[in-house]
Amino acid sequence: MENLKESDTVVSSFEGKVTEQNREKLFLNKLQEFQESKLIVTDRLHGMIFACITGTPAIVFDNSNHKIKYTYHDWLKDVPYIYFVEDSVSLNDLEEKVCQFLGDENEYNIPNFNREYQAVVNLLKGVS
């Protein structure tokens, strides 16, 4: 497959320290990398979240601690461009989803979670 790129949400390849001065730039560079991608394939929670907030289609596999599975089912199951690969998914179904996303020219609306987080915001502000 052409233009295939391997990347990680861990800044292990960065030479030097992540500092207060450079962390925002590193974060924004990673988000830009996701945003410029046609499809993300990940088994990392941050990979799924970055795909979600950049509007980038993602095929997401679970990992050993199931954080991805529960985050997907609790928060992201209605996001049309995030596809969680369940154990029962066939290889044909997975291939169809990859082809669908790669052939898709849609720009997706990024979900607004303000309503879900409002209780937390109110709690932090001391509002009842």
Tens of pLDDT, residues 40-84: 999 999 999 999 999 999 999 998 899 999 999 999 999 999 999
* 52 contacts 68 by C-beta, under 8 angstroms: no
pLDDT at 22: 85
Of the two residues 8 and 65, the one the predictor is more confident about is 65
> Pairing mode, if any, of strands 82-85 and 58-61?
parallel
pLDDT at 59: 97
Q: If 0-12 CB within 10 Å is exposed, 13-18 middle and 19+ buried, where does residue 25 land? A: exposed
Is pLDDT of 9 > 90? no
- Average of per-residue pLDDT values in the chain: 87
Is pLDDT of 24 > 60? yes
d(CA 86, CA 97): 13
Give the pair of three-digit tokens for residue 81.
Answer: 């461009």
